Structures are given as structure tokens and as C-alpha cells.
Chain A
């Protein structure tokens, strides 16, 4: 993606041999011929280099208020940064890095979540070529299998709706290759789990109804919890903004976990999948839960660290993902 948003309105003028040539103080918008003191408008000279090769890409000798989307001193600039508010003198060097092909977060999320929803249903309905032909389009005789399908589908429908209506993303886009990586993960694991749960030789949980009931309770509790956290996080941020604030418990009891944890959405997500593992008593589900937990812990630790860095008064009782433990 060409992030060279900083168009050469200035250089273009120079090419036309128009206004720019005059040296000395720039002409302000307002003219006050009676006053001696000219209102000094600060103009910048901007040199833009390729981040890797340090080749000079362009040089802008008179730049007013602009919104660069490059990096300065090794730190990436945000879309909202204004040149005048950056810690530079009147000469600045920006490094431009091509981020490569990008894709929007919403697109990635919708694709990676729609996959498991549909794939699981294919296994549930036992479409041909998955199991032996005599089982095509049959249904499992175990009621827990139907329950599991409902839970799994509910979970991904919830995720899709949250992507469309709840989440407020910090970044617009991510690298294109992420969609292949993410979809392989989600779709692959969904197929692997669904294969066993909906298999004709599936064995229901050892402790029967008790186990399933407990598992369902845990699952639903954590789904509500996860949703509550998403809503709370959404409400921290006014529409269209990218502000960051410390999340705090609200009136909703499911958010009280914020007292102990920085990223309770991940905590609840782990809980949901533990419930699902218990419900299905299926080792691939346990693997999926474990891998997801590892990844979410990495994210939670990163988020926790950036909270600590950004906010001096960040509550000290909080752990990244598991209260007091992790």
C-alpha cells in the first residue's frame, strides 16, 4: 500500500514555477499591512527516505500543517499526528515504509469467523465424503452433539455480530497475509474438532448429564461475560475515535472482573472453551483451547504492558489474564 499520503502539493507548484520560489518569511493567510509584526507561520522542510535503503524519496521544502503516516525516530506515526505537534525542529526526516498489501480488520474477522460456523455445520449434517457413505446426512444419536453444535454456532454468530456492531478497531488494516494465516488456524481447528464431535463413533462425556450441565453453565456464563466486556470496552471509546482509556468495572457484575484482570475478554474466552471442552470431552477441543490460551496470554501480557506504560495510575492489583496468576 502506498502510504505516501503526503502529496506533493508543494513540489507540484515548484514544477509549475509558480509561487514557491520566494525566499524569506512565508506569506501568511491574513494580511495586516498596518502592523509591523508579521504573523510568522512556521513552515517545515521535510525529507522523506525509504526506511530500509535510506534513499531519498522526496524532499519538500515548504510544508505546512500535514498528517504524515510514516515513522519518525524509529517510532511509527499515527494517522492523526500533526506535523506541527511532533518533536521536530523546522527540518524533519521521515522514514517511509511500504506496509505491503493490506486488508481491513473487519474483512479478516468476518472471514475467519464465518468459516468455522459453516464448516462445523457441514460436519454436523454429515455431508458426503467426510464419514463413511452409510452415514451421509444422518444425525448423531447423542443429544450432547446437538447441544455442542448449538453452542459452537452461537459462539461464532456472536463473534460475527460483535465484529459488525460492537467492536471499535484501533487499526483500519492489517497485512494481507494475515488472512491466510488466521483462516488456516480457525478453519483448520474447526474442521478438526467438528470431525470428532460429529463422528458416528463419538463417545459422550463419562459423567453424563452432570458433566454436560456444568459445562453448559460455564460456557453460557463466560459467553455473557465476554459480551459484557466487549460492550464495556466499546463504551470507553466514542464513535469513530481511537482514544485509549483504562477500563473499569461498571454496574454489570460481569465486568467486576476488571478489578483483577486487564483483559477479561480473554479470560472469559478461555472459560468458554474450557466449558466446551468439558461438554464434548474431546481432545482436539482441549488442544484448541490450549493453543488459544497461549496466544491470548501473549496478547494480554502485551496489552497489560502497554496499559502500564501509558497510564501512571494503572491499578496494581490487575494481572494480564488470570487473576493473581498470569
Chain B
């Protein structure tokens, strides 16, 4: 997903007098700060790479190739976040986080990387830009939250930008999968046919179509409206808040 559900806030607890049983210790917080700073930097690198490539070429076309490696590295690195939840230093659900990260990793590797022909599609740029902006805001949000010094602007950005970025990202993702379909069908990519010793078959082409349907009809509307409700809750008391919390 281009903008992970914000219901799972990851503000780690630094108030030592209020330390719950599973709260992260100072070492964990230090690690998380470093992690989030590195991720923010990584996605900034991708953003800068995109801008530079655009300025150099003068067109939106084929910008994927200029940031392919850092994109793969930092998006795959997000798998660590599942570990963070499993270990307990981040108070989010392992299942939810796992699901969100795996969907990104799936799109990065099992679609964009695997089907070379879609890499020059404009839809790829659509979701890459959406992801980049979202992640820069998201990781800086976590960094500041961990340091207990969250500027209202970052909070506002996190709970507002998704309104445009999330549909944009999902559109990019779906269009990319759609573009990949004919090549998957032609080459039988990741598919198993009968007969075989394990009496099993899998058609990746059909699988992708089912995923598209599920994302479009159920997942996206559900998550999007969940985030809109979160926004109302979090930003609802705008007048009472000063700039720095």
C-alpha cells in the first residue's frame, strides 16, 4: 500500500515513569531512532534521485531505472519493521504491519522487478513518487515522535497527504499489475501446471487478477476510509494544539 494505515501509531513510549511491561528500553529507542533516521535519509536519496534524473532527461519517462537500487534496498529494509513489532519494541500489530510491508515488497520484487517490460511504464513512476513522499513523512514522523518532539507540521502532513497520495499510489500499483498481465500469461511466470508429483497447480496470472480485484473493491476503500476517520480523530482538535507538542 502506498500509505500504511495510520491507526497503528508507532510512537514509542519514552516517559520512564510510565514504563509499561512491554515498553521499549533506551537501547531500543536509540536503535529505532537510528532506524527511522536511516530510512528517512534513504527515501530522501530516492526523492533526490528522481528529481535529478528528471532534470537531466527532461521527461518523466523511465525514471525507475535511476532509483531502482535504492528503492529495492530501502523498501525491502522495511521488513525489519515486522521484526520490531514481533519483538515488541514497536506497539503495532505484527499481522497488520506484515501485511502492509509484504504488499510493498510484493510489488517491488514480484511485479516490477520480475516483469522487465513494465519497468518503463508511467504507472511505476506514479506509485514510486507516492511511496517516496509518504515514507519521507512517515519515517520523520516516527523519528520526531521517538524523540518526543513532534512538530505539528509533520503530524499534519502525515494525516493529510495520504488523501491524495494513497489513491495515487494504489492507482499506480494496479496499473502496473495490469500492464504486467500479458507478459505473465505468455511466459507462465511463477506458475505451476499439472501433472506433477504434488498434485498442485498455481496460475500467477489469475492470482494477479484476483489481487487487483481484492485491492480495488475491498482493501483500498476499507483502509482509505479508516485513515480518514483517524484523521478526524487525530487532527480534530486543531485549535487546541500549539505548533510543537
Query: Using a CB–CB distance below 8 Å, which chain A residues touch chain B?
Result: 196-197, 199, 201-203, 206, 280-284
Q: Is the CB of A202 within 8 A of B199?
A: yes
Q: Is the CB of A282 within 8 A of B196?
A: no
Main secondary structure of the interface of B (DSSP, over half): loop
Additional A-B contact list (15), CB under 8 Å, known A196-B201, A201-B194, A282-B200: A196-B199, A196-B200, A197-B199, A199-B199, A201-B195, A202-B194, A202-B195, A202-B199, A203-B195, A203-B199, A206-B197, A281-B197, A281-B199, A282-B198, A283-B198
Among residues of A, the one whose C-beta sits closest to the C-beta of B194 is A201
Q: What are 18 residue pairs bridging A and B, where the CB atoms are less than 8 Å apart in the complex?
A: A196-B194, A196-B201, A197-B199, A199-B194, A201-B194, A202-B199, A203-B196, A203-B197, A203-B199, A206-B197, A280-B199, A281-B197, A281-B199, A282-B198, A282-B199, A283-B198, A284-B199, A284-B200
Docked Cα-Cα span, A41 to B216, in Å, equals 65
A residues near B201, Cβ cutoff 8 Å: 196
Shortest distance in angstroms between A120's beta carbon and chain B's nearest beta carbon? 15
Among residues of B, the one whose C-beta sits closest to the C-beta of A192 is B200
B residues near A201, Cβ cutoff 8 Å: 194-195
Among residues of B, the one whose C-beta sits closest to the C-beta of A206 is B197
A-B residue pairs, 5 tightest by C-beta: A283-B200, A201-B195, A282-B199, A201-B194, A283-B198
Docked Cα-Cα span, A284 to B194, in Å, equals 13
Shortest distance in angstroms between B194's beta carbon and chain A's nearest beta carbon? 4
Docked Cα-Cα span, A203 to B199, in Å, equals 6
A residues near B198, Cβ cutoff 8 Å: 281-283
Shortest distance in angstroms between A287's beta carbon and chain B's nearest beta carbon? 9
Docked Cα-Cα span, A45 to B200, in Å, equals 65
Docked Cα-Cα span, A206 to B201, in Å, equals 18
A residues near B200, Cβ cutoff 8 Å: 196, 282-284
Among residues of B, the one whose C-beta sits closest to the C-beta of A203 is B195
Per-residue CB contact flags for chain B residues 4-33 toward chain A (1 = under 8 Å, else 0) read 000000000000000000000000000000
Shortest distance in angstroms between A152's beta carbon and chain B's nearest beta carbon? 15
Among residues of A, the one whose C-beta sits closest to the C-beta of B200 is A283
Shortest distance in angstroms between B174's beta carbon and chain A's nearest beta carbon? 26
Docked Cα-Cα span, A203 to B197, in Å, equals 6
Among residues of B, the one whose C-beta sits closest to the C-beta of A286 is B198
Shortest distance in angstroms between B126's beta carbon and chain A's nearest beta carbon? 35
A residues near B197, Cβ cutoff 8 Å: 203, 206, 281
B residues near A283, Cβ cutoff 8 Å: 198-200
Docked Cα-Cα span, A203 to B196, in Å, equals 7
Docked Cα-Cα span, A284 to B201, in Å, equals 9
A residues near B196, Cβ cutoff 8 Å: 203
Shortest distance in angstroms between B39's beta carbon and chain A's nearest beta carbon? 33
Shortest distance in angstroms between B6's beta carbon and chain A's nearest beta carbon? 25
Among residues of B, the one whose C-beta sits closest to the C-beta of A285 is B199
Among residues of A, the one whose C-beta sits closest to the C-beta of B195 is A201
Q: In chain B, residues 159-195, which have Cβ atoms closer than 8 Å to a Cβ of chain A?
A: 194-195
B residues near A280, Cβ cutoff 8 Å: 199
- B195, B196, B198: which has the most chain A beta carbons within 10 Å? B198
Among residues of B, the one whose C-beta sits closest to the C-beta of A196 is B199
Among residues of A, the one whose C-beta sits closest to the C-beta of B197 is A203
Shortest distance in angstroms between B75's beta carbon and chain A's nearest beta carbon? 29
Shortest distance in angstroms between A226's beta carbon and chain B's nearest beta carbon? 25
Among residues of A, the one whose C-beta sits closest to the C-beta of B202 is A283
B residues near A199, Cβ cutoff 8 Å: 194, 199
Docked Cα-Cα span, A225 to B197, in Å, equals 30
Shortest distance in angstroms between A158's beta carbon and chain B's nearest beta carbon? 25
Shortest distance in angstroms between B203's beta carbon and chain A's nearest beta carbon? 13
Per-residue CB contact flags for chain B residues 74-88 toward chain A (1 = under 8 Å, else 0) read 000000000000000
Docked Cα-Cα span, A280 to B197, in Å, equals 10
Shortest distance in angstroms between A284's beta carbon and chain B's nearest beta carbon? 6
Shortest distance in angstroms between A179's beta carbon and chain B's nearest beta carbon? 21
B residues near A202, Cβ cutoff 8 Å: 194-195, 199
Shortest distance in angstroms between B95's beta carbon and chain A's nearest beta carbon? 14
Docked Cα-Cα span, A203 to B194, in Å, equals 9
Docked Cα-Cα span, A281 to B197, in Å, equals 8
Docked Cα-Cα span, A203 to B193, in Å, equals 12
B residues near A197, Cβ cutoff 8 Å: 199
B residues near A196, Cβ cutoff 8 Å: 194, 199-201
Docked Cα-Cα span, A170 to B194, in Å, equals 46
Docked Cα-Cα span, A199 to B194, in Å, equals 9
Docked Cα-Cα span, A54 to B65, in Å, equals 60
A residues near B194, Cβ cutoff 8 Å: 196, 199, 201-202
Among residues of B, the one whose C-beta sits closest to the C-beta of A287 is B200
Docked Cα-Cα span, A203 to B198, in Å, equals 8
Q: In chain B, residues 45-88, which have Cβ atoms closer than 8 Å to a Cβ of chain A?
A: none
Docked Cα-Cα span, A228 to B192, in Å, equals 41
Docked Cα-Cα span, A201 to B197, in Å, equals 10
Per-residue CB contact flags for chain B residues 131-146 toward chain A (1 = under 8 Å, else 0) read 0000000000000000
Shortest distance in angstroms between A140's beta carbon and chain B's nearest beta carbon? 12
Docked Cα-Cα span, A199 to B195, in Å, equals 9
Shortest distance in angstroms between B176's beta carbon and chain A's nearest beta carbon? 29
Q: In chain B, residues 188-245, which have Cβ atoms closer than 8 Å to a Cβ of chain A?
A: 194-201
